[in-house]
Structure 1
Amino acid sequence: MTSMLDCIASALVIAPHPDDEVLGCGGTMMRLAQAGAQVHVAIVTKAGADRFGPDAAATGRSEAREAHAVLQVAQTHFIDLPAAELDRVVHADMNAAIGALVSNVAPDTLFVPFIGDVHLDHQLTFLSAMVAARPRGGKGPLRIYSYETLSETNWYAPGITPAFIPNVYVDISDTLEAKVQAFNCYRSQVKQAPDERSPEVIRALSCFRGATIHRSAAETFMLIRQIE
């Protein structure tokens, strides 16, 4: 039986901030890379010195490159829009920046944050990614999946705002430790349990998601669109 991962030759993971990609689909990224797929990551925002400190942007880039080396990412792309201020960016400009990257990479599969995440940067990134993924002229990604991000996807108001209800599960039993190792590369973001951005809680969610499909660990997604 052919799995969803077997169909992916080139994937682009769009992350609003450094570490979202690892939290959302680090184990899946590793599985894809091990299977020979080209995995690209786009980090949409850069930490501004006035809001996050003079070294925050350089730290984020360095940590991202280290984490992506662990996960065998083919290429990391930095779009450098202002973190926590995407609502101040002209939306057409954001659409153009993400659209240009999607066009250049030309992935067959796109992984995007969930529209119902509490962080406005995540919501706006999702919207611009969907604009970029429009199948005009027969082009565009064949598959689009939304991933869940600890401390963002579950902190809005399910029942009032969109709820993350997974319908795609990826077994990451063999790549969970690589996911945790990659997250630990984001030293500026690692917290102590029971904070959700801790290795222990990352493992806990992965094991819970896995248990629902009788696997040791899993990452979950919502299928947004699939073209066959």
Structure 2
Amino acid sequence: MTDALPGPILVIAPHPDDEVLGCGGTIARLAAEGASVHIGIVTSGKPPRFDPAQVAGVRAEAARAHKMLGVAETHWLGLPAAALDQMAHGDVNAAIDDLVRRIRPATMLIPFLGDLHLDHQVVFRSCLVAARPRSAEAPICLMAYETLSETNWGAAGIDPQFSPNCFIDIGDYLDRKIEAFLEFGSQVRPFPDERSPEAIRALATLRGATVYRRAAEAFCVVREIR
């Protein structure tokens, strides 16, 4: 159990690095406070769109980043990246539901419905299906995180807008979040790209100042049972 969120914790990421961009500081804090934090990476790159060597490299990057954050275990679901909207939705539901049943998380952190990438939108819906409160083992806390270069690139006034109502203090863990993201060397971009250390720090600083903290990560609470 942690002071921040009830555990065990399951973070669902459509692609490797979404979890670090969206809630890497929270992951580090929860792990440091003794929570068991699991990461579920829904997709993997498939040929011919993705080179197998590149995919293997990203997996290695994720392993290093997750070790740095204190992740208990990383689970790769292996669904095709950038193609979830072409799958039967029931198959995506089943893959995530199986992981939820195995981990039995008290808290799930998931991507936001309004993210630009269709994979994120599909994963959000499937997470809601897997987290349906139909038994005492269902997650009691479900929150959506924001992902730089995805959450804020939707169509304003048309797509759902990210309006956070929960902020987690990561003042002591922001540097570790940035260091973990830097392990994703294939994904890091120079500023002013959003996938840069400077942009990550800027957003965390802004979210922190919103609630009078040095740094924070923001979430939309989807459901909380107390």
TM-score scaled to structure 2, two decimals? 0.97
- Compared CA separation, residues 212 and 46, structure 1 to 2 (3 A): same
Structure 1: gaps of 5 or more residues: none
- Residue pair 1:63, 1:186 contacting (<8 A) in 2 also: yes
- Compared CA separation, residues 192 and 132, structure 1 to 2 (3 A): same
Comparing 114-123 with 57-66, greater Cα deviation is found at 57-66
TM-score scaled to structure 1, two decimals? 0.96
Q: Within 2, Cα distance between the matches of 1:223 and 1:139?
A: 19
- Residue pair 1:48, 1:56 contacting (<8 A) in 2 also: no
4+ long deviations beyond 6 Å: none
Q: Within 1, Cα distance between the matches of 2:23 and 2:106?
A: 16
- Name the aligned partner's letter for residue 205 of structure 1: L
Comparing 203-212 with 53-62, greater Cα deviation is found at 53-62
Q: Within 2, Cα distance between the matches of 1:5 and 1:224?
A: 19
Q: Residue 176 of structure 1: which of 174, 183, 189 is its match? A: 174
**Aligned residue pairs: how many?**
226
- Name the aligned partner's letter for residue 223 of structure 1: V
- Residue pair 1:49, 1:56 contacting (<8 A) in 2 also: no
Q: Residue 189 of structure 1: which of 168, 187, 190 is its match? A: 187
Q: Residue 81 of structure 1: which of 79, 83, 88 is its match? A: 79
- Compared CA separation, residues 147 and 7, structure 1 to 2 (3 A): closer
- Residue pair 1:9, 1:36 contacting (<8 A) in 2 also: no
- Residue pair 1:148, 1:164 contacting (<8 A) in 2 also: yes
- Residue pair 2:141, 2:223 contacting (<8 A) in 1 also: yes
- Residue pair 1:87, 1:120 contacting (<8 A) in 2 also: yes
Aligned residues: percent identity? Answer: 55
Q: Within 2, Cα distance between the matches of 1:5 and 1:24?
A: 20
Say whether 1:105 aligns with 2:103. Answer: yes
Q: CA RMSD in A?
A: 1.3
- Residue pair 1:135, 1:141 contacting (<8 A) in 2 also: yes
- Residue pair 1:49, 1:55 contacting (<8 A) in 2 also: no
